[in-house]
Amino acid sequence: MSKPSPPSCKWRSTTQKKEKMQKIGSNIKKIKKGYSSSNPLRNCINNTQHCSYSDYQSHHSFSKDVIFTNESGIDVMNNGLLNKGTSFSKTERDRLGIRGLIPPTVSNIDTQLMRLKERFSTIQTDIEKYQFCTQLHDRNETLFYYFIVNNIKELAPIIYTPTVGKACENFSHIFRKPRGMFFSTLDKGEMKSMVYNWPVEEVDVIVVTDGGRILGLGDLGANGDGIPIGKLSLYVAAGGINPGRVLPVLLDVGTNNEKLFNDPLYLGLRQKRLTGPEYYELVEEWVDAIVSRWPNVLIQWEDFSSDKADALLQKYRDRILCFNDDIQGTASVILSGVLNCLRATGQSFSDITKQKILIVGSGAAGMGVVSGLKEAMKREGLTEEEALKNFYIVDKDGLLTSERLNEMGSTLSDTAKMFAYARNDMKEGSSLLDVVKQAEPDILLGMSSQPGLFCEEVLTYFNSACKRKGKTPIVFPLSNPTSKAECTAESVFKITDGNAIFASGSPFNPVPLPNGQVIQTSQANNMFAYPGVGLAAVLSGCNTISDNMFYAASKSLAATVSDEALKRKEIYPHVEDIREVSKKVAIGVMRQAYYEGNAKKLKHLPKEFIDSDIEMDKYVSTRMWTPKYVPIVVKD
């Protein structure tokens, strides 16, 4: 009896697959020798992609609501971007050759979510919850993002700060499978060919780190790979970036962390961190390799050490589409918070010129924040010199003044030197408490990664000075993760009798007061800005991201907080509203790019369209990726 042919399945024999892979390998070798945008072998690469999200479900062809793939059988189920688990329809199971490989019941995505939540609720520790999410991410990306989007308040602290910090510290011990790409000092001279090992033709966003300063945890080397993965998860969940078009990257340039050298499970290079010209030459080779294949990709620099972060930003910001989230993203979010503090206390945006601001920490992120605030003051009428005088910077050596510039071997960044030069009216090296007593600042910002630095004595005097001036104390302990925050929400509200405005980098629980009132804490987290900025860059087709675009992000973010929320001293939106917030931020940034003539994908649209809230909301909403299952079709 002849064997019946399978119904509507695309079968490939082992021999056919072997022949195809040999052909693919030959083509890739040819491409490595020399690639041009017109090379006909581009189509061969398209056909080898593990998932066709990048070709058929891009931001600009999303209405097709279908995924085409050349994979079948077990390969489909092993591909996180294709796998639906028990949600494959019966006809898909036939088309894809997976009938009999999964239980016969067809579940919808909400039933799968119910099963996930039941299992998740039994997990006790945050790091185990992180691992659960990681495994789901690897197995089924659509379901992973459906889980995140529908439970963002609970899960953002798991896939991002603070839990991601703990995950990075243990990254080599909990490692399961690679995600993204890894470039190291061993790859010098090979990077332009290496980029073609990534099986996706179009990439919208790359987040890259060298692990030099992971959150407030310092040099974690290759263990810092958890940060690009976490950041990109929020690009997708919060910003609606297509998950098939993101790429986490680790630049392994070594580590100076002796603990990692002595860890037998450490995954990174066991060599001292590359420095000087050799370091910048390696980064240059990597940038050239990336833009040679993906010339329009957005690169986000993330968690580089202070001595590298600003230097890399200044070198590349006007040359390629990139930004540094620690510097520019943080500055944008903090400026938004300060603007809302002014609104909450009955002041106008222009009153930012009257604020005296004390910040602890002179690293790249801290200097990015004060630079952003300074520029806002200048926009409201102050001169550069007048604006600089409003800032007091305290680092590990005390107050930063012009006298510090005369010291031999100073490692201050150019930005820190600018602020130091303007401060010549107080004693160099004065303690934090002395500065609070003498300067009587209006706002305290913590970016030192020194827990408890805003101690009871500092907060008590700060509160008393604010009372005398008739002002509301404003305290932002911004260091991440929560264990590195300069103070707790409870300590601030206890000392100020609940009268302060408080925002932190990582989340704190609500604080009950003796009078029975419960204060909801605000989170000044970069996730309120960078996904929207990234979405704007992708949809506008901008060539660079200007300071004015980040200022637009700040004002758009501030506007998402209602007057009713401000009365409760909530100066940032709720995490549950993150997708709507990201959309509003994206619209503000896209408009600014359009007005600057820096939006090639929008230039065909009339100004009336760009200025219309209704039209822009519709335009962006329909281009945000949403986690849902769509039909999968086999395509040779």
Beta bridge mates, 24: none
Q: Which long-range contacts (CB under 8 A, 24 or more apart) does 120-126 make?
A: 126/157, 126/158, 126/163, 126/166
Helical pair 364-379 and 547-559, crossing angle rounded to 10 deg:
80
Q: Which long-range contacts (CB under 8 A, 24 or more apart) does 418-424 make?
A: 418/388, 419/367, 419/370, 419/388, 419/391, 419/393, 420/393, 421/388, 422/385, 422/388, 422/389, 422/391, 423/388, 423/389, 423/391, 423/392, 423/393, 423/399
| Active-site annotation holder among 160, 530, 551, 594 | 160
Tokens of 20: 């195809």
Helix/strand/coil percent split, the chain, to 5: 50, 10, 40
Cα torsion 48, 52, 53, 55 to 10°: value is 90
489 within 8 A of 446, measured Cβ to Cβ? no
Residue 258 assigned to a binding site: no
560 within 8 A of 388, measured Cβ to Cβ? no
**Backbone torsions φ then ψ of 526, nearest 5 degrees:** -60, -15
594 is catalytic: no
CB atoms within 10 A of CB 280: 15
Peptide bond connecting 481 to the previous residue in cis, omega within 30 degrees of 0: yes
231 is catalytic: yes
CB atoms within 10 A of CB 456: 12
Q: Give residues with Cβ within 8 angstroms of 51, minimum separation 6.
A: 67, 69, 71, 79, 81, 82, 200, 244
Residue 434 assigned to a binding site: no
**Backbone torsions φ then ψ of 222, nearest 5 degrees:** -65, -20
Residue 256 assigned to a binding site: no
Residue 326 assigned to a binding site: yes
Cα–Cα distance list, 337 to 3, 25, 302, 445 (Å): 69, 52, 22, 11
513 within 8 A of 496, measured Cβ to Cβ? no
Residue 213 assigned to a binding site: yes
Beta bridge mates, 183: 251
| Active-site annotation holder among 84, 129, 231, 308 | 231
249 within 8 A of 222, measured Cβ to Cβ? no
**Which ranges in 186-275 belong to alpha helices (H)?**
191-194, 226-237, 258-261
Specify binding-site residues for (S)-malate: 213, 480, 525
Specify binding-site residues for a divalent metal cation: 302-303, 326
Active site residues: 160, 231
Specify binding-site residues: 213, 302-303, 326, 480, 525
